Amino acid sequence: MKKLGSWFVPHLMGLLILFEGVVLAVMARKVELVEVLVMDQMMTLVMGVVLIMLGLLLFIPLFPQLQRVSERLMYRMQVVAAVAVMVISLAFLLLAAPARIEGIGSIRMFWVVLGAAQLFFLGTMALVYMYYEPLANRRMAWLEWLGMLASCLVITEGAVILGLRGDLNVHGELHSGPSLMVLIGVALAALGIMEIVIFNRRREGQSEKLLEMLDWTGMGISVVIGAIGLLILTVVTSMTLDGMVYGYHWLLIAGMLLALLAPLLNYAQTIVADREGWNMDLGLITTMVLLLAIPFAVAL
């Protein structure tokens, strides 16, 4: 479990980033983000090479020949690489627009955002698990590992919503400008980050009162995440975003993901906290309520 939580995930993310860089470099061609940015073939190639280098920085410490290199230096290089991947992907999320790729054609903004978001997810996972110290109890460690994965998914969904920001018309339900999507996206990212902090809260010298407060905070955050997901499920229908029509299944996926991640987060936090009595009971009851609310939200 220690290997899975402490070093395997960052290296796996590095390998995936390296692979994406290779694909981008091999298929380098002119890319235009409409009215935002034009990248010629050379710029695309450079971007691919940059991703290859960042992926190697995360993955390369596995090679035994490098064991003589300073462990602290290698760790810092990995942190810099993970942060760099997050910054690059976040920049593309903020610049997201429909794309034209030479020799391929036009790509909707939605797919550009998803491409940047999955790269953001890889960087986030690499960074988060570099700081993760597994619990001694194997079952608890797995639950905590799973909870932190769920937190990264919440952050990524927030990044997707932020990247898609625009004039939104949920047919027959809601009409809003970009500010609503920005607010929801930033809120989900912040909630996911707080969940990660709570899952990695074990530090020597922390008072029992502080740990209990963090447990309650974690439960509250899970409920808020679940409430956002349930609210989305109550308005599932087709929508128009910046003039483009999207089927109902996209809202269904977005709402269902949050609605399922919330009870998972709450259950993992409750069990990992390992508190007997009504604290544990309330945590499990809240988990059940979040799960049972899903079919009711879909039916509304």
Angle between helix 71-94 and 109-130 (nearest 10) = 160
Q: How far apart are CA 245 and CA 254, in angstroms?
A: 16
Contacts of 12 (CB under 8 A, 6+ apart): none
| Sequential pLDDT tens for the chain (300 residues) | 444 445 678 888 989 999 999 998 988 888 888 888 888 889 999 999 999 999 988 877 666 555 566 667 777 888 899 999 999 999 999 988 888 888 888 888 888 999 999 999 999 999 988 887 777 777 888 888 888 999 999 999 999 999 998 888 888 788 888 899 999 999 999 999 999 888 876 555 567 777 778 888 888 999 999 999 999 999 888 888 888 888 888 899 999 999 999 999 999 888 887 776 666 778 888 889 999 999 989 887
For residues 104 and 204, membership in a common domain is answered with no
Q: Tens digit of pLDDT for each residue in 198-236?
A: 887 655 556 777 777 888 888 899 999 999 999 999 988
Same domain flag for 17 and 149? no
Say yes or no: 148 and 296 in one domain. yes
Answer yes or no: do 227 and 249 share one domain.
yes
Domain boundary among 111, 132, 153: 132
Same domain, 9 and 155: no
**Residue carrying structure tokens 């919440």:** 154
Domain stop point among 81, 108, 132: 132
14, 59 Cβ separation under 8 angstroms = yes
* Residues 116 and 146 occupy one common structural domain: no
How many other C-beta atoms are found inside a 10 Å radius of the C-beta of residue 249?
11
151 and 128 in a common domain: no
d(CA 175, CA 204): 49
Tokens linked to 86:
């997050």
Same domain, 141 and 274: yes
Domain boundary among 81, 115, 132: 132
Please check whether residues 263 and 150 belong to one and the same domain.
yes
Question: Cα-Cα-Cα-Cα dihedral of 42, 33, 245, 260, to 10°?
Answer: 70
Angle between the N-to-C axes of helices 208-234 and 178-199, in degrees from 0 to 180, rounded to the nearest 10: 150
Q: Which two tokens stand for residue 265?
A: 């987060």
Does 266 share its domain with 286?
Answer: yes
pLDDT in tens, 75-102: 788 889 999 999 999 999 998 888 888 8
70 and 138 Cβ atoms separated by less than 8 Å: no
Query: How many domains, the chain?
Result: 2
Structural domain boundaries, residue 172: 135-300
Residues 174 and 296 placed together within one structural domain of the fold = yes
pTM above 0.85, yes or no: yes
One domain, residues 142 and 91: no
